Chains A and B, each alone.
Chain A
């Protein structure tokens, strides 16, 4: 038996975006010979038909209420039941709060392995090959799996969802399975939304060690305020005490993906790049034309930021 099992997720009764993306990935693998696509989801039966419309050949809906808002350990017997029913030898799930635990837990429970934060997948020569970033984005690793099932958690926005096609048909079955919860959820708190959160800001202006001293951040704050954005800093600048650690962008700080990221006097160490490489448009202001950040940028100004940033602020004010 072969095939792909997609662990889909829902938010408040509707399919989460990652579910469509996972089905898009699964259909690609199916086209490469990996077998049929079964989707598993916890929730109401109606979700089954949505999964079919988005690319699943069959859907398994687990209606057990204990799965709602539950931690990954509660999902393990349910996913194992779906795995048995589908006969799949590939399991895909999202790199989400659920998937980041479920992937490794399932792999250890089954004695197999998992590729985390996968950005690309292919089925070639009878096996699944998963591509993922490592070393802070400096390297890519391609991994395969010694034993079935191969398990991969997929990073958001790595695959395109297929448009829903209501004419697609497939079987929808329901199951009622849930595991024991050793860890109890007491409550969930949404992040506070006072001011512009660095993670949500459409524009981020960040400074690094190259600013030379903490006063440089005043200028960056002015630019950020003008663009209705937030101000960030590299780890090097935070470690020097020039800016609060809560505003650190990078591997050990916040991960941002704004429409516009202006990197001022930041060389672009992998630690920092890991936190902002997903930005749609990068502007680098740096003295060093060979800086990694300059290479990664769409536009770069090679000059002293102390002269460039005030002039940029003036010009933006003039443009209105």
Chain B
């Protein structure tokens, strides 16, 4: 099975709120000093799913694609170190500040340039914009079905059997291939790259494609966004905290318990 995994590099979601700053004029997040961007936390699960399917089949190829700045190479390397076979970095000025529809177009074009895929896997959403739109977009553009928020995936004849997370449980569905599947954090722990794997990953091929290579230069660029960003800001949190006083930790604890009881919270 030929599997493509889409991964994204994002600002670290563990960034303390105090270090999180936005340039409201440029409508961009100002990178926090000394905090390196990370692989979107949902994406290693997608890579893990791809590797397990390949291992179960005993053959196949896992190609990892990332759209982003040159630094997104690190997100690709992480997947290669986990065991993916090859990488593709989609990069260039045309991709700056594009929306998720343009992202889906670029990824779909790259998948087509690779000669298509039997299965495209993504994380359930990127933890920066948190939309979950791109996997459905890739599927629509490639004319194939999409199953979102998968917690288990297995080969089932010519297709896949997928457990899809709902608000109050899960649903088991069957999809033909090719298909796009977005993977939930409930899928299970992704493997941790071992030193040997990291060394091997350094020798794996990462192709670099620009908008012209994909024939989509005219559709990229901020001016072609379908979703227009009107404003980006940090909401002012009115802190109404009541600090519980007391001379000792024990007295503070007693005062807290009484407050909670008075407020009928315990």
Contacts and interface: CB of A to CB of B under 8 A. Distances in A.
Contacts of B41: 251-252, 271
A269 to B, nearest CB: 5
B169 to A, nearest CB: 4
Given A104-B137, A187-B172, A138 B249 contact: no
B185 A253 contact: yes
Interface string A126-141: 0001000111101111
Given A271-B13, A290-B18, A312-B256, 10 more contacts: A107-B101, A108-B104, A115-B227, A135-B20, A138-B17, A140-B232, A141-B232, A143-B228, A145-B228, A203-B266
Contact of A184 (B17, B127, B168, B173): B173
B258 A303 contact: no
Contacts of A222: none
Interface stretch (B87-95, B199-207, B239-247): B239-247
Contacts of A139: 20, 22, 29, 232-235
A310 B256 CA distance: 12
A273 B13 CA distance: 10
Contact of B15 (A185, A269, A307, A311): A269
Contacts of B230: 129, 142-144
Interface residues of A, number: 88
Residue among A73, A112, A315 with max Cβ neighbours from chain B (10 Å): A315
Given A108-B104, A269-B14, A116 B147 contact: no
Nearest to B264: A259
B52 interface: no
A117 B130 contact: yes
Interface in A70-116: 71, 73, 96-97, 100-101, 103-105, 107-109, 111-116
A34 to B, nearest CB: 17
Interface of A: 71, 73, 96-97, 100-101, 103-105, 107-109, 111-117, 129, 133-136, 138-147, 182-191, 203, 227, 235-236, 245, 251-253, 259-260, 267-271, 273-274, 281, 283-284, 289-290, 292, 294-304, 307-312, 314-316, 319
Contacts of B231: 140-142
A289 B127 contact: no
Contact of B242 (A108, A270, A298): A298
B227 A114 contact: yes
Contacts of B261: 319
Interface stretch (B60-68, B138-146, B210-218): B138-146
Interface string B1-36: 000000000010111111010100000010000000
Interface of B: 11, 13-18, 20, 22, 29, 41-42, 99, 101, 104, 127-133, 136-137, 140-141, 145-149, 161, 164, 166-176, 179, 185, 189, 225-235, 237, 239-244, 248-250, 252-254, 256-261, 263, 265-266
Contacts of A145: 226-228
A302 B243 contact: yes
B266 A227 contact: yes
A259 B265 contact: yes
A227 B266 CA distance: 7
A145 B141 CA distance: 20
Contact of B169 (A188, A295, A304): A188
Given A143-B229, A295-B241, A316-B257, A186 B127 contact: no
A279 to B, nearest CB: 11
A100 B20 CA distance: 28
B127 A312 contact: no
B253 A116 contact: no
B3 to A, nearest CB: 18
